Amino acid sequence: MSEALWLVVPAAGQGRRMGAQRPKQYLALAGQPVMAHTLSRLHQAFPAARLCLCLDPDDTLFDPAWVPFAHWQRVAGGAERADSVAHALAALSGQAGDEEMVLVHDVARPCVTVNDLVRLYEALSNDAVGGLLAAPVADTMKRDDGAGRVAATESRQGLWHAMTPQGFRYGLLRRALAAARQQGLVVTDEASAVEALGLQPRLVAGRRDNLKITHPEDLALAARILAAQHAEGPGPAAASCREKR
Ligand SMILES: Nc1ccn([C@@H]2O[C@H](COP(=O)(O)OP(=O)(O)OP(=O)(O)O)[C@@H](O)[C@H]2O)c(=O)n1
Ligand SMILES: C[C@](O)(CO)[C@H](O)COP(=O)(O)O
């Protein structure tokens, strides 16, 4: 029996750095809410996947019409992103098998391409640890002195920007997040928790335009990225995983 693929989408944030009137996942982007774009990209890549959507318990803006998946559930998000992901994994207890793949993808990353999603899934399917989409750092990196001036220039050799999705087997990811919480380790991505177990997640090079919409200028940038991707046309034979499985 083919293993199920689980998608966890943290979408319970408030978008404080965006400074908008509503959480950024509900801001209009090319005629649709950010969330609708993100879920559409995930569904194009993984139409048969099962979605767990983390929403703020007080969220009154969510519309189920934006969810294209046949099998999906919502869970209450937590105080931090890691808590929301942990809540989703707890909700999947008894549903997801320990060896089944969980891909965690920020709702705030609507520009991820279907081709990158499928490439990541294929790269991780045979990887015992799991991994993440990432992009090598291309800028010179400065560390500040806390007073607005350069304290040092950091080597960018071997530095990557971690992105999402990040994919790990259900049992390992649940154990890793639980261990991080128990140790009081604050993690801003899933890979950090897996690394804390002494494992080395795989870095899968992805497009740099897999932007996380965070600051006000990012919304217009995301719109330009979507338009540019549309003009590019479909990537290299990015058949969805249903065709490939
Ligand atoms: N308690 C939280 C915090 C964040 N997220 C989600 O995690 C992703 C990445 O988080 P971030 O970009 O920081 O989103 P926000 O927390 O909304 O932004 P801010 O930190 O500016 O408030 C987002 O899709 C966000 O919705 C979540 O599900 N639960
Ligand atoms: C998971 C992530 O998108 C990887 O870069 C990032 O860590 C999320 O950070 P945020 O502060 O929760 O946006």
- In the predicted structure, residue 176 carries a pLDDT above the cut 50: yes
ipTM > 0.95 for the complex: yes
User: Does 84 sit in the ligand 2 pocket, CB within 6 Å?
Assistant: no
Closest ligand 1 atom number to CA of residue 80: 1
pLDDT digits (tens, 9 = 90+) for 112-141: 999 999 999 999 999 999 999 999 999 999
For ligand 2, the distance from its centroid to the CA atom of residue 164, given in whole angstroms, is 8
User: Does 50 sit in the ligand 2 pocket, CB within 6 Å?
Assistant: no
User: Tokens 């928790």, residue?
Assistant: 193
For ligand 2, the distance from its centroid to the CA atom of residue 38, given in whole angstroms, is 15
CA pair distance 67, 169, nearest whole angstrom: 24
pLDDT class of 235 with cuts at 50, 70, 90: low
> At the topology level of CATH, where does 5-244 sit?
Spore Coat Polysaccharide Biosynthesis Protein SpsA; Chain A (3.90.550)
Nearest-ligand number for the alpha carbon of 18: 1
pTM, to two decimals: 0.96
Indicate which residue's Cα is closest to atom 9 of ligand 1.
106
Predicted pLDDT at 243 = 47
Helices (H) and strands (E) in the chain, counts: 7, 11
Contact partners, residue 221, CB within 8 Å, separation at least 6:
211
**Residue 181's CB: how many other CB atoms inside 10 A?**
15
User: Does 107 sit in the ligand 1 pocket, CB within 6 Å?
Assistant: yes
Q: Which of 106, 112, 211 to mutate to test the pocket of ligand 2 (most atoms within 8 A of CB)?
A: 106
Nearest-ligand number for the alpha carbon of 59: 1
CA pair distance 125, 83, nearest whole angstrom: 26
CA torsion, ordered 118, 124, 125, 130, to nearest 10 deg: -140
Query: Taking the domains of the chain in order of start, what are their residue ranges?
Result: 5-244
* Mean pLDDT for the chain overall: 95
DSSP string for residues in 28-66: EETTEEHHHHHHHHHHHH-TT-EEEEEE-TT-----GGG
pLDDT digits (tens, 9 = 90+) for 197-221: 999 999 999 999 999 999 999 999 9
Indicate which residue's Cα is closest to atom 11 of ligand 2.
188
Closest ligand 2 atom number to CA of residue 162: 5
Q: State mean pLDDT over 14-36.
A: 98
